[in-house]
Amino acid sequence: MEKVIEGLFFIAMIVAMVAGIFFVLFVLFSIMARALANHNLFFTLIREGEGKAFLHNQAFEKAVIRYKGFRLDGRWNVVESNRREQLTVKEVKAKGGFWDGKKRRKEDRWWYGLLNKFMGGGLAWVGIWPFGTVYAYKFRWEALKDGKPTTHDELLDYVFVKSSVYYTKLEGAETFGMVPLDIGLNLTIRVTNPYRALFRAHQWLEFAVSRIAPYIRQYIPATKKEFKEFVGVKQGPDSELFQFLGTSKEKFTVEQKKQLREQGHPEREIEDMELAGKGILWVLREIYGVDIQSIEFASITVGKEYETAQALKWSAERKKEAIEIEAAAEAKKIDIIAEAEARKIRTVAQAIKDFGEIGLASKAMDTIKEASTKAGNWIIPSNLLDALRIGGQGGREKKREGGDKK
């Protein structure tokens, strides 16, 4: 009996030692994996609401996301977790799954769940370095901070699969009245397929903005609204703008048709899509994996060229008004002077009429007196001399006339 107890005790010690070793190894492994994940070596960390693309020898292998309530289906679309995907045998094998007579996913394996629990949270296995790597890319975007746009240009190894707001500026858009506008837009965007967003377009955000901008330019004058009516308006799926974008008949390119075929769409279905006039929003979502959920007109300002033209116009109008005011004042001055002269002439004429030659002589004396105050003004008209009888000539004539009578 004692030997049995000793044997059990020895076994318990061995089990405890093994368990302790495994626990220590687990802790060390977790610490090491976490440290390696910070550098995307063998492991990586995927935060909630993000997804990453894994490469094998620089070729796409798979995508992984961490987004509660969502998962990736067989074509790397972000779908709800409770939605069962229907895969073909070829697709199951291509994803590393196995076929047991039912359509299964790799994630349905019992050991996959245990491994995920063991790895814990956002920690994910990448592969043997340097063969297995995480895809990283340069990404440029703008966002509003304290009401001002801030530009970011960073090297990222993830893509958001949750809704995010990006800012862009649309310059030179014209209203119905041909007024050029600079429009600040807040775009709420969600990546619905990490593979398509990252590998089917260079700089997926710039690509999406460049594709949708021409349609927004067309929409603004088509509404025949004043630009002030757009400010602060958030356009969602049921808005006029989204209806306009949804019916904007986007013709598929050869490359887009090829991508649709790779997604499993038959040729006839692709032709029907073209005839149905799928809009740019559908093309961005279904072909490029970028879902534009809302568009907000954050700010609208008149274009610089228009402001310059308006300033010149305002300046010209002010100059015109100044000239008109100056001309009116000069005309008024002339009228006042003319009226004063007319009154003066009427007064003098009336005095001459009332007093006869005496009045005329008085006026002549005033004129001579006024002229004498200025140099070079001693020019006396002959009629004034006659009126004044200057020089005594008139007196001598009278005496001569009187002498003749004697």
Tens of pLDDT, residues 115-128: 556 656 688 889 99
* Phi, psi (degrees; rounded to nearest 5) at 192: -100, -5
Which pLDDT score is estimated for 397?
46
pLDDT higher than threshold 60 for residue 160: yes
Which pLDDT score is estimated for 101?
44
**Among 294-303, 305-314, 362-371, the range of highest mean pLDDT:** 294-303
Confidence of residue 388 (pLDDT cuts 50, 70, 90): low
Cα separation, 175 vs 168, whole angstroms: 19
* Phi, psi (degrees; rounded to nearest 5) at 304: -60, -40
Q: Which tokens in the block code for residue 310? A: 């308006």
pLDDT higher than threshold 60 for residue 331: yes
Which pLDDT score is estimated for 154?
94
Which pLDDT score is estimated for 98?
42
User: Would you tell me how many other CB atoms lie within 10 Å of the CB of residue 62?
Assistant: 17
**Residue 280 buriedness (CB in 10 A; 0-12 / 13-18 / 19+):** buried
Which pLDDT score is estimated for 191?
96
Which pLDDT score is estimated for 205?
94
Which pLDDT score is estimated for 297?
85
Mean pLDDT, the chain, integer: 75
pLDDT higher than threshold 80 for residue 210: yes
